[in-house]
């Protein structure tokens, strides 16, 4: 079985491991309409944030 001839550098090791630390973003439910949204952001559907309308809802 072949063995590596030279040691891998720190940067090469870190580039290989770059995808080991990716995480799926968490979602919370909007308190007004119940659609999933990113935490600490206004709901893109209804425009509410912390029981207040802060932006106009997106019209489709």
Q: How many CB atoms sit inside 10 A of residue 43's CB?
A: 24
Question: Where is pLDDT greater, at 20 or 15?
Answer: 15
Percent of the chain residues past pLDDT 90, beyond the cut: 65
Which tokens go with 3? Answer: 């063995």
Which residues on neighbouring strands pair with residue 53, listed in sequence order?
48
The answer to whether the beta carbons of residues 37 and 48 sit under 8 Å apart is no
Mean pLDDT score, 9-19: 92
Mean pLDDT score, 21-45: 92
Q: Is the pLDDT of residue 45 over 80?
A: yes
Which residues on neighbouring strands pair with residue 49, listed in sequence order?
52
Q: Is the pLDDT of residue 58 over 70?
A: no
Which tokens go with 20? Answer: 């080991």
Quickly state the pLDDT bin for 60 (edges 50, 70, 90): low
Percent of the chain residues past pLDDT 70, beyond the cut: 95
């Amino acid at each position: 079985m072949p063995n590596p001839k030279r040691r891998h550098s720190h940067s090469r090791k870190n580039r290989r491991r770059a995808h080991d630390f990716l995480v799926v973003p968490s979602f919370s439910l909007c308190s007004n309409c119940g659609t999933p949204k990113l935490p600490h952001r206004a709901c893109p559907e209804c425009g509410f944030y912390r029981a207040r309308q802060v932006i106009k809802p997106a019209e489709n």
